[in-house]
Structure 1
Amino acid sequence: MSALSRLLIASVTILLLAGCEDPFSDNSARNRGFIYCGPGQPNTFNPQLTDGGLTADALSSQLFDRLLQLDPNTYQPKPMLAQSWEVSPDGKEYTFNLRKSATFQVTDWFIPHRGLTAEDVVFSFERLIDPDHPFHKVSGGEYPWFDSMDFRGLVDNVAAIGQYQVRFTLSRPDVSFLSTLATTYAVVHSAEYAKHLLTSGTPGRIDTHPVGSGAFYLDEYQPHRYIRLKRHWGYWNGAAPMEQVVFDISTRGTGTFTKLITRECDVLSSPIASQLSVIEKNPDFVLASQTGMNVAFLALNTRHPALSELEVRQAISLAINRDALIQSVYYGTGTTATGMLPPMSWAYDSESTTAFDPQLALGLMAKAGYRHGFTVELLVPLTPKSYNPSPRKAAELIQSNLAAIGITVNIVAQEDINRKQLKQDPSNLDMVLTGWIADNGDPDNFLRPLLSCNAKFTGWNLSNWCNRYFDRHLDSAIATDVREDRREIYLQAQAILQDRMPLIPLAHGVHYQARNAKLQGITLSPFGDKSFANVSRSQ
């Protein structure tokens, strides 16, 4: 268990309040809110410290606001805490004008004495970029998502130029910067709360006892049981209709699907494909779907003796029957991936193709000197995702496909990927069956965090692949704001991936969500972002 995990579990004991209502023992939560079922356990309540999971995917949007948010239809940034912004002609200065009505939450551990100002924005981002900042090394000092994007190298300075005006100065132009600030990782913390924690000698509580400006605040956390959020009455966009939201994170008793059917849960975040027909036939539930900005892929460790050979990587791609994956794992709901970018991306390469040709794969294996095959371990995170609703089943199909060309695959199953551990010792992996859900609509968000040289050193580039020519394409694409020019550069970058094949794109999934028919206002986003600020229950 990591030091951060131990700190979180130890420090949240103050939240385990004697006499608190158990949301599963009666209708206390359902009468005044709703119960959300989804996989995962938090190891922090600060999304800046995470590389995904429950905190970034669901909790962040309830507890915190960002400067900007993404329009679910256009994928473009729009106002949130920032009402407006200006960009300098050279593309290196971004000035944001903050709304004056945003307030921080009142919790059992802190009562704010002022509303949100530029000081809070400066604190939140200086912590990320300044190694000497008093909070930079708190909770481990690693910010995986921002490090994979080279955020520290991009942002030279963050400064308050007025009480409600803040300016970011960049080291280079980056037209994806606004989209970066709209992700669920780019949250704003309370600088006043941080000063209070420093004075009291408990800075780590900023990540375990959050104080944000979102529509809900953290009220109670029972590890491996539930998380209870309560309504923030002073929310700048109006108090939420629901008094509380309870996240069922337990593994007790039956699975999440059964909990939905038996009314223990009001919302099931990601039903698997085999459950969809049952939900659709039940008039008590609504099944919503969203074509996802996602991709499932097989990462190949290019340091592995056999996988370092291009012909072997090409053979693996040719040996995988993607159509069988779509039918058996996605039940026909997904689409075959021909590249990393999904069809809904404006930089999608519509001319790229994939093939299933085991005979040609066998020839390539022989050409590479592996006529008799070899053995590899395949790391499989078992938590279902919208890009892969049944990871074990997908792994078994890939195992069978690769056996046909002489590759023996030993499946190593675990709950999720420990990127920090893999970063410390990349030799621990041969292949990883994983995927990606975009944090925003910019193509850079697919390619840079997963395949850039910088991402190799942060643990996100699971292929251990570094190609400076590819990186130069990424840098060129964010240096211009001409969409057609950017698309052409991204097509060239994708051609490099097709040629070198450091990973094998498999499929694009559909994000499904099931809910009680009486709940209104729950929306889906292609980026996995979900806010419950407008959810209500009809009688």
Structure 2
Amino acid sequence: MKQNKLLRAVRLSAIAAATATVSLAATISHAADIPNKTLVYCSEGSPAGFDPAQYTTSTDFTANTFTVYNRLVEFERGSTKVEPGLAESWDVSPDGKTYTFHLRHGVKFQTTEFFKPTREFNADDVIFTFERMLDPNQPFRKAYPVSFPYFTDMGLDKLITKIEKVDPYTVRFTLKNVNAPFIQNMAMEYASILSAEYADQLLKEGKAADINQKPVGTGPFIFKSYTKDATIRFEGNPDYWKPGVVKIKHLIFAITPDAGVRVQKLKRDECQVMSYPKPQDIAPLKADSNLDMPSQAGFNLGYLAYNVSHKPLDNVQVREALDMAINKKAIVESVYQGAGQAAHAPMPPTQWSYDGNLKLPSYDPDKAKALLAKAGFPNGFEITLWAMPVQRPYNPNAKLMSEMIQSDWAKIGVKAKIVTYEWGEYIKRAHAGEDDTMLIGWTGDNGDPDNWLGTLLGCEAINGNNFSKWCYKPFDDLIQKGRTTTGQDARTKLYTQAEQIFAQQLPFSPIANSTVYQPISKKVVDMRIDPLGYARFDGVSVK
């Protein structure tokens, strides 16, 4: 009965939204006139590429997912609420295992210098996008073999048993089990819809890898050019299926790794939006009469991962000692400077199912030293401590944080060598498990607890975002059960138990949850802070 109520609710909400969007779509009879405005975004780093399914960082997703592409379902701008996207509605079967997506008509793929579409978006594009991730023998995947970390981290490669083209505008997904966060997961970046026609063209030309450098989608902005470590240029999509949403003719990413330089560019109006201000720059930015500084509690977590596949980090007493030796209060004061709070769980307080009563170790260097001796290391040991080369809301200064942790650990006899790499290399090597310990963090992707506990700590995520390489069956069983259980209260009980196991095992040390600030020029209209950690420019205009 609950399933039938759920089915009706999903149908009614999706159909109501679809009615509005279909009536809007009917007005798309000719290319829209886009205001001849330019917006420059001072971004913090170069994207590794433009194929969203391959990546896991906000630097990549800001540059590809929310500019070039759309998904079947999407997050409302500035929210974790799901709305219809390239699917105008969807149905869920009474047993919760079959999802039927009804696709939007009249959606055009972008025309670029390297691709001229001959047809509109249809079911073939959805089938291609997902079969590529599901089937190792899919021809395009064989021609361009890459990994799909989100897709596999969330176990979707095992969950989705079949994708069928019912007709040119209907696609059916069959799941092995009920999956409570499935629709939320389908709104995520990896699920961005690619053009099957473009993929065929690249295959014939022997240039399959170009899908990662010359992207084509149905999104609000058309990719024009990319110069690594310098600029990315986009143009507003005149054929975008959402009328009136594209309000910028020219969108330019000015890649500016130094936060201080980003601030100066913003003040000189060389850019109108900037990413990730340093905590010490927040007050001066607020004081500038030409700028606005909206802020909100961050849906994020900065943490220190212990690679449990390396000895002695496989020993829970060692992990507990290392955690106990870190003066987190001092780190929050020095690194976050009032723009953060100490973290006490493997997810932020703003996530439903957060357990505010977890008992994590308290700062106690003497007890930490005694615990190390009990674990067989009275004289400590040597270890590597990786520090991120980029600034993130969840960690505004990894260099300083690593130096403070290094100093704290030295007091208990642990000698930490600080290591860093360029961001893309840092993530790649961490996925390969080269680090002993590493500073990293997470901003929630979809508003579901599974996106924290499953994605960061699940057994399926060991070669992806589970940088701790920690697979613990009692914990993982709860995560798997959480995915197949419906109802927020029932799922919360499971996730609370999982958080308690986390606190006992400590595969990583939670450090802080931060406040997110978005400095913008007062010329910019309707720029929203995205709780999922990206900058989005659909709907944004410039005075």
1:149 aligns with 2:157: no
**Shift in Å at residue 343 of structure 1?**
0.4
CA spacing shift, 1:174–1:454, aligned 2, 3 Å: same
1:370 matched to which residue of 2?
Answer: 377
1:334 aligns with 2:340: yes
1:201 matched to which residue of 2?
Answer: 206
**Shift in Å at residue 31 of structure 1?**
7.0
1:275 matched to which residue of 2?
Answer: 281
1:303 aligns with 2:309: yes
One-letter amino acid of the structure 2 residue matched with residue 273 of structure 1: P
User: Superposed, which structure 2 residues align to 1:422-433 within 5 Å?
Assistant: 422-424=430-432, 426=433, 428-433=434-439
Instruction: Pick one of 456, 468, 490 that aligns with 2:495.
Output: 490
Instruction: Pick one of 131, 135, 153 that aligns with 2:136.
Output: 131
The alignment covers a number of residue pairs equal to 506
User: d(CA) in 2 for partners of 1:223 and 1:72?
Assistant: 28
What SS does the corresponding residue of 1:137 show, helix, strand or coil? helix
1:415 matched to which residue of 2?
Answer: 422
User: d(CA) in 2 for partners of 1:182 and 1:376?
Assistant: 39
1:169 matched to which residue of 2?
Answer: 174
What SS does the corresponding residue of 2:252 show, helix, strand or coil? strand
User: d(CA) in 1 for partners of 2:241 and 2:41?
Assistant: 24
What SS does the corresponding residue of 1:507 show, helix, strand or coil? strand
Which consecutive aligned stretches of 4+ in structure 1 deviate over 4 angstroms post-superposition?
250-254
Q: Indicate the larger mover: 227-236 or 43-52.
A: 43-52
What SS does the corresponding residue of 2:296 show, helix, strand or coil? strand
One-letter amino acid of the structure 1 residue matched with residue 203 of structure 2: L
User: d(CA) in 1 for partners of 2:97 and 2:300?
Assistant: 30
Q: Could you list the runs of 5+ residues in structure 2 that have no partner in the other structure?
A: 1-34
1:225 aligns with 2:230: yes
1:322 matched to which residue of 2?
Answer: 328
User: d(CA) in 2 for partners of 1:71 and 1:292?
Assistant: 17
Answer yes or no: is the 8 Å Cα contact 2:58–2:533 preserved in 1.
Answer: no
What SS does the corresponding residue of 1:290 show, helix, strand or coil? strand
How far does the alpha carbon of each residue in 1:281-314 deviate from its partner, in whole angstroms, 9 at most, with x for none?
0010111223222111111122332222221211
TM-score by structure 2 length? Answer: 0.89
Instruction: Pick one of 434, 443, 447 that aligns with 1:437.
Output: 443
1:180 matched to which residue of 2?
Answer: 185
One-letter amino acid of the structure 1 residue matched with residue 405 of structure 2: I
Answer yes or no: is the 8 Å Cα contact 1:323–1:336 preserved in 2.
Answer: yes
User: d(CA) in 2 for partners of 1:294 and 1:169?
Assistant: 32
One-letter amino acid of the structure 2 residue matched with residue 412 of structure 1: V
**Shift in Å at residue 530 of structure 1?**
3.3
2:461 matched to which residue of 1?
Answer: 455
1:238 matched to which residue of 2?
Answer: 243
One-letter amino acid of the structure 2 residue matched with residue 421 of structure 1: R
What SS does the corresponding residue of 1:136 show, helix, strand or coil? helix
**Shift in Å at residue 254 of structure 1?**
7.4
**Shift in Å at residue 72 of structure 1?**
5.9
CA spacing shift, 1:521–1:207, aligned 2, 3 Å: same
**Shift in Å at residue 130 of structure 1?**
0.9
Instruction: Pick one of 371, 388, 391 that aligns with 1:384.
Output: 391
Q: Percent identity?
A: 35
1:509 aligns with 2:517: no
1:82 aligns with 2:90: no
Q: Indicate the larger mover: 65-74 or 491-500.
A: 65-74
User: d(CA) in 1 for partners of 2:229 and 2:77?
Assistant: 32
**Shift in Å at residue 526 of structure 1?**
1.0
User: d(CA) in 1 for partners of 2:273 and 2:249?
Assistant: 16
TM-score by structure 1 length? Answer: 0.90
What is the RMSD of the two structures over their aligned residues, measured on CA atoms? 1.9
**Shift in Å at residue 43 of structure 1?**
2.5
Instruction: Pick one of 351, 356, 359 that aligns with 1:350.
Output: 356
What SS does the corresponding residue of 1:218 show, helix, strand or coil? strand
User: d(CA) in 1 for partners of 2:353 and 2:260?
Assistant: 43
One-letter amino acid of the structure 2 residue matched with residue 389 of structure 1: P
User: d(CA) in 2 for partners of 1:263 and 1:310?
Assistant: 51
User: d(CA) in 1 for partners of 2:537 and 2:79?
Assistant: 21
CA spacing shift, 1:159–1:529, aligned 2, 3 Å: farther
What SS does the corresponding residue of 1:140 show, helix, strand or coil? coil
Answer yes or no: is the 8 Å Cα contact 1:145–1:185 preserved in 2.
Answer: yes
User: d(CA) in 1 for partners of 2:259 and 2:531?
Assistant: 31
One-letter amino acid of the structure 2 residue matched with residue 393 of structure 1: L
Answer yes or no: is the 8 Å Cα contact 1:325–1:394 preserved in 2.
Answer: yes
Instruction: Pick one of 388, 406, 414 that aligns with 2:413.
Output: 406
**Shift in Å at residue 492 of structure 1?**
0.6
2:21 matched to which residue of 1?
Answer: none
How far does the alpha carbon of each residue in 1:97-132 deviate from its partner, in whole angstroms, 9 at most, with x for none?
122132111111112122211111111111110111
**Shift in Å at residue 251 of structure 1?**
5.9
What SS does the corresponding residue of 2:89 show, helix, strand or coil? strand
**Shift in Å at residue 203 of structure 1?**
2.3
User: d(CA) in 2 for partners of 1:75 and 1:533?
Assistant: 16
User: d(CA) in 2 for partners of 1:171 and 1:307?
Assistant: 35
One-letter amino acid of the structure 2 residue matched with residue 472 of structure 1: D
What SS does the corresponding residue of 2:475 show, helix, strand or coil? helix
2:14 matched to which residue of 1?
Answer: none
CA spacing shift, 1:140–1:227, aligned 2, 3 Å: same
Answer yes or no: is the 8 Å Cα contact 2:36–2:250 preserved in 1.
Answer: no
